[in-house]
Structure 1
Amino acid sequence: MNAEILVVEDTPASLELLSQLLSQAGYTVRPALEGRMALRSAQASPPDLILLDVRMPGIDGYEVCRRLKADPRTRDIPVIFLSALREAGDKLKGFEFGAVDYIAKPYQPEEVLARVRTHVELRHLQSRLEERVGERTAQLLEAQACLQESQTRLQELAGFLQTVREEERSGIARELHDELGQALTALRIDLGWLKEKCGQLGPPVVQRAEAAYGLVERTISALRRISEGLRPGMLDVLGLAAAIEHHVSQFQERTGIACTLTMNREEFEIDEPLATAIFRLVQESLTNVARHAAAQHVAVRIEDGESEIRVRVDDDGCGFVTTSEKKTFGLLGMQERVKILGGRIEIVSQPGQGTRIDARLPKQQGESK
């Protein structure tokens, strides 16, 4: 077996005997007559195995082993002690210093070769294992880096899609309000004039005119509701606080669910993407309450802190199991929206105990506390 063995023995005859024995077995032998020479040799070029005599002048074998194990360059080299000391305490002392084996003198050549072969093979297996672990670790780190890069790209794409979605919503809302809304308003005015003028044509005509007028009124109301759902005009004109107040009021009126709103600012000095995200978070939370919670009361709280804004929505509804794999698109949308802005969101719920949605959004995008 192609392996290099450092033999440390202060008796020249014993050193020569061991060197011949190992050389004939196919090993490369590096002799050393005393401990300091052995340490310098091992540090300069670590061998595969060290055969180390215990009793030597200067520093003995135990001290040599201790220094070898204390040095990162040599601590993994297996050490086999050679000694005429046969007491169990001597052997235990050798193992305590880090030796892998202990051969008592006088020894049989076959025993020495067998033990050397075993530990050299173990050393080679350990080296190969460490190489495999290193390769797998490098592959894992590379895969993690690729995954992180993919996640970053996906998050950037998700943020871009959210921006595009809001822009499309804003465009559609403006078209509905400015074009279709104005046309319906004009039609309502004309129908109102016709309704007043067609009284002499008899009840059937009057009833048809009133029905048409009522249909236009309902259509305008529906148009306003749809337009506000797509992009609340108050958010752009009056700001986040007014838009939230209006939406909460409309939610309460539409659903009959009592809703309290608490804000520590009359207005929030934040940029448009964050304001939109907060409004959507409240909007989606209340939509989920209306659809799934069967709640009697909802509490919405918005707190503007030094570096982040906290949005919390609590309801006293039926709750749900948060560990379930089945999640609504509303919850997934909220989680993704908060994640895109570098924030954190916690959804706490249990069956029969209501639901709490607690989000913390950094004022500076990408800043996460």
Structure 2
Amino acid sequence: MVGDLQSNSIRILLVDDNPNNLKVLAEAISTCGWKALMATDGESAIEQSEYAQPDLILLDVMMPGLDGFETCRRLKTSRITQPIPVIFMTALSESTDKVKGLEIGAVDYITKPFQQEEVIARLKLHLKISHLTRTLEQRVEEHTKELSQSLEQLQSTQLQLIQSEKMSTLGQLVAGIGHEINNPIGFIVGNLTHIKEYTHGLLRLVDLQQKKLPEIDSEVADLIEEIDLEYLIEDLPNLLQSMQQGIIRLQEISLSLRTFARADIASKVAFQIHEGIDSTLMLLKHRLKGNSERPEIQVIKKYSSLEPVQCYPGQLNQVFMNLIANAIDAFDQCHLSGICRESNKLPTLTLITLTDAQEDSIRIYIKDNGSGIAPEIQARIFDPAFTTKPVGKGTGLGLAISYQIIVDKHQGKIQCLSSPGEGTEFIITLPLGNSS
């Protein structure tokens, strides 16, 4: 309906079993430039209302078959016809009958016999009220939509700020840790080579001396027994080898830290995805080990041959960290509750990568065989601040930030597939294009 009450686009449905009443009402309505639609019973009135969508209905109460009250009741239960204002026409003067009609959903009553001037005045009033109501509803809907968009934009901005701050802080922290680790590692590596050479020389000297001087005095013999020279000679190379392996492990951790938190926020760079996943696994290696609650988490890697991807490596590594850490948390909780212990399943984390030539993209699958996620929770896992973890164990931002990194920053996709009791799988799709 339009605001102009003289518009010929306004349609009034007249419902009365008396043809004379319909004719009089139609003539009165035509003087206002409105179009009259007519029905002589309740069933046809409902049918016309559904397909013609009149702006207002004048409905007689006393009709054979379906009376006005039941007709109005059915109109108000239909989503299509419910908003149409209904005015009853009746010879009934009892207030209880009028109250009954208003309770059903009518907006007014016109008492027969009626005056044309009164009918037109009431029609104009309710057409105007209807128009104002619809205009108000439309404005409320528009404002609600604007507020919803503003809220989404605010949440997105908050996530960007949180993510940028986290990445900046993490980058500074890791850079400092890497620097502090590298200095002693370099010192130990440099000296370990000399220690091995010195030790080898001393052991050769001891061996040669024992061969050249088989006769030894009692004091030397006592010392040899005290230090268990034979075991010392056998075990010392093993100790040095263990030290060297420990240094190699420290170097791997240091490299993983540098790979994990690369300072590349400004622009995309070419990055090998497998390096990011492996560096994340290295940093979480201590959490993959078995504990008093559960056995060691088995990691299965099925890597395809991937070409480097233009991306923000530090941010992608943050996604890998969030997803893998969440899987470990899920295993811990599953075994703590006893669910996974009862099933006797070995906790397994499967990592798969492959290239989708048709979509010019790569896919990364991160799958666990834990307890899975309920459908009602799956629908909300990417919502900011939503978490199922106990207080103090999670902020609810990890997956929301991961979604923003993949979808907004990399124009990719992230999906969650899960069945309770079967496990959870996250699928990340990243385009191979060079857009930045």
TM-score strictly above 0.5 = yes
| Of 120, 131, 134, the match for 1:130 | 134
Give the deviation of 1:172 after TM superposition: 4.0
Cα distance change on mapping 1:61 and 1:174 into 2, 3 Å? closer
Among candidates 231, 239, 243, match of residue 275 of structure 2: 243
* Counterpart in the other structure of 1:326: 388
- 2:306 match: 267
Q: How does 1:176-255 map to 2 (within 5 A)?
A: 176=180, 178-189=182-193, 191-192=195-196, 195=199, 203=227, 217=244, 220-232=247-259, 240=272, 243=275
State the 1:269 CA deviation: 3.4
Q: Which residue of structure 1 lines up, in the alignment, with residue 405 of structure 2?
A: 340
**Residue 23 of structure 1: aligned partner:** none
- Over the aligned positions, Cα root-mean-square deviation in angstroms equals 5.8
Counterparts in 2 of 1:353 and 1:87: CA distance versus 1, 3 Å: closer
- Closer/same/farther in 2, CA of residues 284 and 227 from structure 1, 3 Å limit: farther
How far, CA to CA, are the matches of 2:5 and 2:278 in structure 1? Answer: 83
| Closer/same/farther in 2, CA of residues 333 and 101 from structure 1, 3 Å limit | closer
Pick aligned residue for 1:300 from 322, 347, 351: 351
- The TM-score, its normalising length taken from structure 2, stands at 0.49
Query: In the alignment, is the contact (CA less than 8 A) between 1:155 and 1:340 conserved in 2?
Result: no
Give the distance between the partners of 2:138 and 2:123, measured in 1 at CA. Answer: 22
Instruction: Note closer, same or farther for the CA distance 1:80–1:334 as it changes in structure 2 (3 Å cut).
Output: closer
Deviations 1:206-260 (A, max 9, x none): 79x9899688547524523432442338x99995255268569976997572514
Higher normalized contact order (CA 8 Å, seq sep 6+, divided by chain length) = 2
2:342 counterpart residue number: none
Sort the Cα spacing of 1:128 and 1:248 in 2 relative to 1 into closer, same or farther, 3 A: closer
1:157 counterpart SS class? helix
1:312 counterpart residue number: 365
Partners of 1:108 and 1:230 in 2: CA distance = 90
Map of 2:94 onto structure 1: none
Extract unaligned runs of 5+ from structure 1: 1-39, 70-74
Q: What is the TM-score of this pair, normalised by structure 1?
A: 0.56
5 Å-filtered alignment, 1:1-369, equals 42-43=6-7, 53=24, 64-65=35-36, 76=55, 78=56, 108=113, 115=119, 118-161=122-165, 163-164=167-168, 167-168=171-172, 171-172=175-176, 174-176=178-180, 178-189=182-193, 191-192=195-196, 195=199, 203=227, 217=244, 220-232=247-259, 240=272, 243=275, 257=298, 259-263=300-304, 266-273=305-312, 275-282=313-320, 284-290=322-328, 292-293=330-331, 295-305=346-356, 306-319=359-372, 321=374, 323=376, 325-327=387-389, 329=394, 333-342=398-407, 343-363=412-432
How far 1:310 sits from its partner (Å)? Answer: 1.8
User: How many aligned positions are there?
Assistant: 305
Structure 1 stretch displaced more, 148-157 or 292-301:
292-301
Letter of the structure 1 residue corresponding to residue 6 of structure 2: A
- How far is 1:301 from its partner? 1.7
**Structure 1 residue 160: Cα displacement:** 2.7
1-side partners of 2:306 and 2:258: how far apart? 19
Classify the secondary structure of the residue corresponding to 2:36. helix
Secondary structure, in 3 states, of the residue corresponding to 1:355? strand
Q: Percent identity?
A: 13
How big is each residue's C-alpha offset from its partner over 1:84-132, in whole Å with a ceiling of 9 and x where there is no partner?
Answer: xx9989xx9xx9xx9956699xx756x6566556545534543443343
How far apart are 1:152 and its partner, in Å?
3.4
Q: 5+ unaligned residues in a row in structure 2: which ranges? A: 15-21, 38-47, 49-53, 73-83, 92-111, 207-222, 290-295, 332-344, 378-386
Shift of 1:171: 2.6
Amino acid at match of 1:223: L
C-alpha displacement of 1:290: 5.0
CA distance 1:334–1:193, change in 2 (3 Å): farther
Any conservation in 2 of the 1:313–1:358 contact (CA below 8 Å)? yes
**More moved, 236-245 vs 297-306:** 236-245
| Counterparts of 1:341 and 1:55, CA distance in 2 | 63
Q: Is contact 1:322-1:348 (8 Å) kept? A: no
Tell me which residue corresponds to 1:22.
none
Per the alignment, do residues 361 and 262 of structure 1 end up closer, same or farther by CA in structure 2, a change over 3 Å counting?
A: same
- Counterpart residue identity of residue 7, structure 2: Q
Residues 322 and 128 of structure 1: is their aligned pair in 2 closer, same or farther, counting only changes over 3 Å? closer
Question: 1:190 & 1:243 partners in 2: Cα distance?
Answer: 33
Contact 2:8-2:35 at 8 Å conserved across structures: no
Given that 1:54 and 1:61 are in contact with CA atoms closer than 8 Å, whether structure 2 keeps it comes out as no
